């Protein structure tokens, strides 16, 4: 019950906002100086969604598969790269500038090359998505691995913790909130990556569908496709957030009820 | 004849940074017998935490050496229990799992470590809080959890750096009496840092007073008050006399640093 109410409280305001925007849009597209080829009404988009549901659904699965694989690859590689960079100061100094420089290379420009190297199957899409997504994961993980309290690491050393134990018991847990921040940004990027990848070399998927619909000037159908891409992005984001809440109860429960601190349970003395 | 457990021999420490060199300690001698309760008082910044870091094997002294059971150990780090000034409870572990961490690192299995820790919770005034997150505990309870973590690690010698520094006066009194009971029940050797002279006298077999930076030992005073001690001993003449003898060099040390700096 409490959970339901919390979800309603969270979903209420954005839903109201969406309804207002859609209403204004409907109004403008109905009475404003625009043709439905330029700006279809939300109701037209909705019927395009329904009429093309099987075509859209088919291509949705294609794109969702690419995104999940690409996101997973970015997660693993982004994390390992961050651990590598944090493993020694020399490696950090050698690699970190190149990590940042890698973001100056526009992924849409290298996407065709990746298609040439790997072919037209799933691989180039997974690679392009991973390339778009790994950066926020890596950067946040690097920051997170710096976040552990140096005094805590000292304390663990006096308790005979070796390097691996200090990593597992202190550095990794301290990094987790940062890692999840990176994952949430990456979730939002992953959809963009999928569309790029499909534009340069694909014959299916929602990104590819947008290209074909664009050629046919099927504006309402394009909007419908874009709406689905948006939903995929939001769903992935919410999935990451859900996992985050499960994985970091300490992080959220400490913030939730900032009520009065509990009394000092001093019941000492007699039983010693 | 008491047997020396932990000794500092002419320990000096100079921190070298790009901001210049800071002499933190100058030829500090310290003798801690097995089972003794020793306190160190001194003005803030005189190197008490630095001394503890050296005794715990975390940093190397610039001069002098540390002896354990009469000889320099191959590996000092890990031989001595150390409760740092901050409680350093891990927010991602429950109170119970925080107290177990030393046992886990000693190779005790999770389940057994938890059992052993759980058994100590009543004695440490933590019963019922096993599954709480540390963020939900009061300051006094956090200190007791940190202390339990140090006790469970099982080292004979424990260094406690101002463990009660942040507590209110009443809680502090209770914790002192309780700590003494604990020390006697478990026959540990304790070295205790405080800026509270009364606390030092009440708890200790011997008190060292350190000067301002660079820290030197300016007085080492045996506290020959009978044990077990109760709170009302602080009213006795003997107690007050010892306190006065310690206050004198401490106040001199304070004057030579800055006015008003205690800690
Ligand atoms: N890592 C460090 N590098 C340089 N100076 C330090 C370092 N740690 C402590 N100091 C300096 O050494 C002096 C003693 O510090 P500390 O041992 O923390 O004193 P206390 O615990 O008695 O307050 C202080 O002046 C402090 O600024
Ligand atoms: Mg200190």
Tens digits of per-residue pLDDT, B151-160?
A: 999 999 999 9
Q: Which two tokens stand for residue A70?
A: 């690409």
Bond into B221 cis (ω within 30): no
* B50 ligand 1 Cβ < 6 A: yes
Does residue B149 share a domain with residue B162?
no
Q: Which helix (H) or strand (E) holds B241?
A: helix B237-256
pTM of the model: 0.88
pLDDT (mean) for B55-70: 96
The predicted structure's pLDDT at residue A5: 84
In tens, the pLDDT along B202-245 reads 999 999 999 998 999 999 999 999 999 998 999 999 999 999 99
Pocket mutation for ligand 1, best pick of B13, B19, B47 (most atoms within 8 Å of C-beta): B47
What pLDDT is stored for residue B158 in this prediction? 97
CA distance B248 to chain A (A): 33
pLDDT of residue A34: 83
Over residues A202-260, the pLDDT tens digits come to 889 999 999 999 998 889 999 999 999 999 999 999 999 999 999 999 998 876 655 44
Give the mean pLDDT of chain B: 93
Does A224 map to a domain?
A: yes
CA-proximal residue: ligand 1, atom 24 (nearest): B45
Is 50 exceeded by the pLDDT of residue B37?
A: yes
Q: Work out the average pLDDT over A162-176.
A: 97
Among all ligands shown, which has an atom nearest to the Cα of B257? Answer: 1
**Residues 28-67 (A) with a CB less than 8 A from some CB of B:** none
Indicate if B16 and B140 belong to the same structural domain.
no
Q: Count of domains in chain A?
A: 1
Out of A246-260, B23-37, B56-70, B173-187, least confident range: A246-260
pLDDT at site A190: 95
Round to whole Å and give the CA distance between B44 and B61. 20
A156: contact with B, CB 8 A cutoff? yes
Q: Is the CB of B15 under 6 A from ligand 1?
A: yes
Kindly state whether residues B204 and B76 are assigned to the same domain: yes
Note whether B255 and B167 are same-domain residues.
yes
Tally of CB atoms within 10 A around B236 = 11
Confidence of residue A266 (pLDDT cuts 50, 70, 90): very low
Both B246 and B161 in one domain: the answer is yes
User: Does residue A7 belong to any structural domain of this protein?
Assistant: no
- Final residue belonging to a domain, choices B121, B154, B187: B154
The answer to whether B160 touches B190, Cβ cutoff 8 Å, is: yes
Residue B58 Cβ inside 6 Å of ligand 1? The answer reads no
* pLDDT, tens digit, 9 for 90 and up, residues A73-113: 999 999 999 999 999 999 999 999 999 998 888 888 888 88
Specify the 3-state DSSP secondary structure of B153: coil
Span A16-37, mean pLDDT?
A: 90
One domain for residues B2 and B22: yes
Residues 6+ away with beta carbon under 8 Å from B69: B3, B4, B5
Q: What is the pLDDT of residue A264?
A: 44
Contact status of A253 with chain B (Cβ, < 8 Å): yes
Percent of chain B whose predicted confidence (pLDDT) is above 90 = 84
Same domain for B125 and B166, yes or no, is no
**B98 shares its domain with B50:** no
Say if A22 falls within a structural domain.
Answer: no
- A194: containing domain: 58-257
Instruction: Note whether A158 contacts B56, CB cutoff 8 Å.
Output: yes
Q: How far is A267 from chain B (nearest CA, A)?
A: 6
Q: Whose CA is nearest to atom 6 of ligand 1?
A: B15
A152 reaches B (C-beta below 8 A): yes
Mean pLDDT in residue range B94-103: 97
Position B168 scores a pLDDT of 87
Number of domains in chain B: 2
Domain boundary among B154, B177, B192: B154
What is the arithmetic mean of pLDDT over B127-142?
Answer: 94
| Domain enclosing residue B99, as ranges | 87-154
Q: Name the residue of B19, B24, B191 whose CB sits within 8 Å of the most ligand 1 atoms, as the mutation to test its pocket.
A: B24
Q: What does the pLDDT read at residue A260?
A: 41
Residues whose CB is less than 8 angstroms from the CB of residue A264 and which lie 6 or more positions away in sequence, other chains included: B138, B139, B140, B141, B171
Nearest alpha carbon to residue B180 among B156, B193, B154, B199: B199
B49 lines ligand 1 (CB under 6 A): yes
A155, A254, A266: residue with CB nearest B133: A254
Residue A60 has pLDDT above 50, yes or no: yes
Token pair, residue B202, equals 């009440």
User: Which residues make beta-bridge pairs with B190?
Assistant: B37, B158
**Within-domain flag for A17:** no
According to DSSP, the residues that pair with B20 across neighbouring strands are B17
CA A156 to centroid of ligand 1, rounded, Å: 20
- The two structure tokens encoding residue A40: 């279809």
Nearest-CA residue for ligand 1 atom 26 is B45
3-state DSSP helix/strand/coil % of chain B, to nearest 5? 35, 25, 40
User: Same domain, yes or no, for B166 and B58?
Assistant: yes
pLDDT score, position B171 = 86
Asked whether the predicted pLDDT for residue B263 surpasses 60, the reply is: no
Residues in chain B: 263
Q: d(Cα B204, Cα B188) in Å, to the nearest integer?
A: 13
Asked if residue B174 has its Cβ within 6 Å of ligand 1, the reply is no
- Please confirm whether the linkage preceding A54 is cis (ω < 30° from 0): no
Kindly identify which residue of chain A lies nearest to residue B57, measuring between CA atoms: A158
Residue A128 domain-assigned (yes or no): yes
Q: Are residues B134 and B39 in the same domain?
A: no
Is A157 in contact with B126 (Cβ distance < 8 A)?
no
* Beta-carbon contacts of residue A236 (< 8 Å; ≥ 6 apart): A67, A71, A187, A190, A191
Residues B127 and B201 in one domain: no
Does some domain include residue A11?
A: no
Last residue of a domain, one of B154, B184, B205: B154
Look up the ipTM and state it.
0.93
The pLDDT, as a whole number, for residue A103 is 87
For residues A159 and B79, give the distance between their C-alpha atoms in angstroms, rounded to a whole number. 8
Which CA distances in Å does B189 have to B3, B67, B82?
A: 12, 15, 12
pLDDT at B262 exceeding the cut of 70: no
CA–CA separation, B55 and B39 (whole Å):
14
DSSP for A117-145, written as a single string:
HH-SSHHHHHHHHHHHHHHHHHHHHHHHH
Inter-chain CB proximity A265 and B90 less than 8 Å = no
> B193: helix, coil or strand?
strand
Indicate whether A48 belongs to any domain. no
CATH number, domain with residue B211:
3.40.50.300
Q: Whose CA is nearest to atom 16 of ligand 1?
A: B47
Assign A261 a pLDDT band (cuts: 50, 70, 90): very low
Asked whether residue A263 carries a pLDDT value surpassing 50, the answer given is: no
What chain A residue is nearest to B143 in terms of C-alpha separation? A264
Residue contact B82–A267, C-beta within 8 A: no
Q: Tell me whether A251 touches chain B (CB under 8 Å).
A: yes
B214 lines ligand 1 (CB under 6 A): no
Q: How far apart are CA B18 and CA A244, in angstroms?
A: 42
pLDDT of residue B40: 97
The answer to the question of residue A235 being in a domain is yes
Cα–Cα distances in Å, from B233 out to B164, B182, B201, B205, B226? 20, 19, 10, 14, 9
CB B185 to CB A272 under 8 A?
yes
| CA atoms lying within 13 Å on the CB side of residue A236 | 26
Q: Which residue of B has its CA nearest to A151?
A: B88
For the ranges A16-30, A64-78, A107-121, B203-217, the lowest mean pLDDT is seen at A107-121
CATH code, domain with A111: 1.10.3720.10
B193 touches ligand 1 (CB under 6 Å): no
| Pair (B129, B208) in one structural domain | no
**Is residue B258 very low, low, confident or very high in pLDDT (cuts 50, 70, 90)?**
low
A264 — contact with chain B (CB < 8 Å)?
yes
* Mean pLDDT confidence for B24-49: 95
Could you tell me where the beta strands, DSSP code E, fall in chain B?
Answer: 4-17, 20-33, 37-41, 63-68, 81-83, 157-161, 189-194, 206-210, 217-222
Q: From chain A, pick out residues whose CB is under 8 angstroms from the CB of B174.
A: 266, 268-269
């Amino acid at each position: 019950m409490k959970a339901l109410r919390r979800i309603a409280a969270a979903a209420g305001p954005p839903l109201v906002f969406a309804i207002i925007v859609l209403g204004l849009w409907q109004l403008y597209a109905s009475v404003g100086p625009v043709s439905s080829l330029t700006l279809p009404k939300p109701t037209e988009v909705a019927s395009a969604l329904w009429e093309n549901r099987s075509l859209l659904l088919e291509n949705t699965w294609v794109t969702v598969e690419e995104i999940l694989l690409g996101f997973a690859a970015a997660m693993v590689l982004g994390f390992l790269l961050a651990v590598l960079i944090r493993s020694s100061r020399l490696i950090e100094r050698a690699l970190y500038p190149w990590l940042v420089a890698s973001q100056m290379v526009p992924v849409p420009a290298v996407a065709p090359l990746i298609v040439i190297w790997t072919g037209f199957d799933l691989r180039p899409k997974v690679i392009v998505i991973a390339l778009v997504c790994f950066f926020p994961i890596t950067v946040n993980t690097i920051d997170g691995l710096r976040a552990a309290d140096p005094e805590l690491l000292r304390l663990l050393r006096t308790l005979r913790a070796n390097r691996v134990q200090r990593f597992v018991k202190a550095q990794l847990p301290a990094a987790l909130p940062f890692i999840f921040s990176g994952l949430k940004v990456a979730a939002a990027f992953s959809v963009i990556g999928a569309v790029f990848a499909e534009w340069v070399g694909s014959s299916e998927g929602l990104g590819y569908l947008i290209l074909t619909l664009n050629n046919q000037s099927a504006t309402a159908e394009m909007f419908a496709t874009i709406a689905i891409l948006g939903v995929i992005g939001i769903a992935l984001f919410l999935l990451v957030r859900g996992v985050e809440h499960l994985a970091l109860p300490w992080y959220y429960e400490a913030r939730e009820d900032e009520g009065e601190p509990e009394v000092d349970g001093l019941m000492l003395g007699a039983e010693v | 004849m008491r047997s020396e457990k932990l000794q500092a021999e002419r320990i000096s420490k100079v921190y070298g940074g790009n901001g210049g060199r800071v002499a933190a300690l100058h030829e500090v001698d310290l003798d801690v017998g097995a089972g003794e309760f020793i306190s160190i008082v001194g003005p803030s910044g005189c190197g008490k935490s630095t001394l503890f870091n050296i005794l715990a094997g975390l940093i190397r002294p610039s001069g002098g050496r540390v002896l354990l059971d009469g000889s320099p150990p191959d590996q000092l780090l890990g031989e001595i229990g150390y409760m740092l000034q901050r409680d350093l409870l891990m927010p991602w572990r429950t109170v119970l799992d925080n107290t177990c961490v030393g046992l886990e690192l000693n190779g005790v299995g999770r389940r057994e470590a938890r059992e052993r820790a759980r058994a100590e919770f009543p004695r440490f005034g933590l019963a019922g809080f096993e599954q709480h997150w540390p963020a939900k505990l009061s300051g006094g309870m956090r200190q007791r959890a940190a202390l339990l973590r140090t006790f469970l690690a099982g080292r004979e010698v424990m260094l406690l750096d101002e463990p009660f520094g942040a507590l209110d006066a009443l809680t502090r009194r209770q914790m002192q009496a309780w700590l003494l009971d604990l020390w006697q029940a478990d026959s540990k050797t304790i070295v205790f840092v405080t800026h509270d002279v009364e606390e030092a006298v009440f708890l200790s077999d011997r008190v060292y007073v350190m000067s301002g930076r660079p820290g030197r030992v300016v007085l080492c005073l045996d506290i020959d008050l009978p044990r077990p001690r109760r709170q009302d001993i602080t009213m006795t003449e003997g107690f007050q006399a010892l306190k006065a003898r310690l206050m004198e060099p401490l106040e001199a040390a304070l004057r030579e640093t800055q006015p008003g700096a205690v800690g």
